[in-house]
Amino acid sequence: MTARNRQAAGGCEPAHGIVIALVLVKLAIHLPLAARYGYFRDELYFLDCGRHLDWGYVDHAPLIGWISRLALLFGGSLPLLRGISALAGAGVVALAIVMAARLGGGRFAQFLTGLSVVVAPGCLGGNSLFSMNSFAPLFWTGGAYVFIRIVQTGDSRLWLLFGALAGLGLENKHSMAFFSIAFLVGLLFMPERRELARPWIWLGAAIALLLFMPNLIWQWQHGFPTIEDLRNVKAEGKNVVLSPGAIGPYRSKRLAILPSRYARHDIQADGCARIDEDG
């Protein structure tokens, strides 16, 4: 079987040793430093949200409050809070490695992918504090992996899992909506748009809506305060307004994820090399 055929059939087998090793490296970076420098003000705020549970808050979705309540049951210490964030980051590392394997990457490509996620500045910073930003990449990466499996296996029932991840992601951070919309737009330009004629993708959407519904109802009952808050932030000039041609922030975003770009190219090169080897 050629490498191209292996990729179509589900790629390579994930190297479990690499997954375990890099997950442990990720945790070894964060856990020893978890108690340093005291609580960040947002962490204290999220703990207080955990003490006052609700299906919504003015400036964020409710899942972080529920995770905080769970942490408070075990003391709510700083190492515990940041340990939870580190575990979320470790999950992204594992998913990235498995995705590289499913896309046809060999052991080196899987290692480089995982290492890139471990050392990416955005990931290092995001998983060093307890916030919804620690969990958002986990839902995004999980959704991307499920989509890969839908394409490779043709199992439309996996849209149910995609919907569950999208719904929980919306309860974590409303920006999950942009991720889901982007997937839908991309789907329209792929052969997999035939999925739109099948019931599973719509059942997945129903699951996402059902999971998001408590926060949506809360927003409606309170006059959509999150939208009002965003308008106030914009009016106060807190956000940096950029022209469409501004490249500085674009460069900074590239630096935050730069290692993962090399990993992507290596997966492609590794797959092409094995295609040549197999003829």
Q: Which domain holds residue 272?
A: 1-35+77-134+240-279
Query: What is the reported pLDDT for 11?
Result: 80
Per the listing, tokens 């090169």 go with: 269
40 conformational bin, left if phi > 0, alpha if psi -120 to 50, beta if neither:
beta
Long-range contacts of 133-136 (CB under 8 A, 24+ apart): 133/173, 134/84, 134/85, 134/88, 134/89, 135/63, 135/64, 135/67, 135/85, 135/88, 135/172, 135/173, 136/169, 136/172, 136/173, 136/175, 136/176
Angle between helices 159-172 and 136-153 (to 10 degrees): 170
Answer yes or no: is 82 within a domain.
yes
> What's the structural domain count of the chain?
1
Query: What is the reported pLDDT for 237?
Result: 76
Query: What is the reported pLDDT for 249?
Result: 53
Answer yes or no: is 166 within a domain.
no
First-to-final CA distance of the chain: 10
The CB-side HSE value for 206 (13 A sphere, CA atoms) comes to 5
Query: What is the reported pLDDT for 268?
Result: 47
Answer yes or no: is 125 within a domain.
yes
Query: What is the reported pLDDT for 274?
Result: 44
pLDDT mean for each 10 residues of the chain (279 residues): 50 93 98 93 96 96 97 96 97 97 95 96 94 96 96 95 97 95 92 94 97 97 94 81 60 52 49 41
Answer yes or no: is 44 within a domain.
no
Which are the contacts of 160, defined by CB distance < 8 A and separation ≥ 6? 200, 203, 204, 207
Which are the contacts of 237, defined by CB distance < 8 A and separation ≥ 6? none
Query: What is the reported pLDDT for 265?
Result: 47
114 class by beta-carbon count within 10 Å (0-12 exposed, 13-18 middle, 19+ buried): buried
* 14-46 confidence digits (pLDDT tens): 999 999 999 999 999 999 999 988 999 999 999
Query: What is the reported pLDDT for 1?
Result: 40
Query: What is the reported pLDDT for 243?
Result: 66
Residue 67 structure tokens: 């995770």
Answer yes or no: is 27 within a domain.
yes
Answer yes or no: is 150 within a domain.
no
**Closest to 163 measured CA to CA, from 115, 223, 123, 203:** 203
Instruction: Look up the pTM and report it.
Output: 0.83
Answer yes or no: is 9 within a domain.
yes
Q: Let me know: does 92 contact 123? Beta carbons within 8 Å.
A: yes
Answer yes or no: is 124 within a domain.
yes
